[in-house]
Amino acid sequence: MSLIDAAFQPRMEALSGTERVSRSLAWLQWSRAMIARQIIAEEGQMSAERLKWEVALRCYGGDPAIRGMIERILADVPH
């Protein structure tokens, strides 16, 4: 176990269930915001609706069924 893990694990275990879920949601929001910034850097500005679906495509596009669904939605979303 690394020094960071050794410090992190007890702190996470000390959190209540609600606090753990809250922290997980904060990490998810941070990750999606980071992906959104990457997409904007690569493709330029776009509508909030389009950006939402582009982020979803990056996150969940590994599943062919989900990818197809998101791509069908994106076909109707203006840039």
The residue range of the domain holding 39 is 22-75
Q: pLDDT category, 79, cuts 50, 70, 90?
A: confident
Q: In the predicted model, is pLDDT for residue 59 greater than 90? A: yes
Helix axes 17-43, 48-60, angle to 10 degrees: 110
pLDDT, position 10 = 92
* 6 falls within a domain: no
Contact 55, 36 (CB under 8 A): yes
Is 45 within the bounds of a domain?
A: yes
Residue 12 lies in a domain: no
Number of domains in the chain: 1
List C-alpha distances in Å: 26 to 15, 48, 62, 73, 76: 14, 20, 23, 27, 30
- The model's pTM: 0.82
Q: What is the mean pLDDT of residues 6-23?
A: 93
Does 2 fall in a domain? no
Q: Would residue 5 count as lying in a domain?
A: no
C-beta separation of 12 from 19 below 8 A? no
Kindly state whether residue 59 falls inside one of the protein's structural domains.
yes
Residue 49 lies in a domain: yes
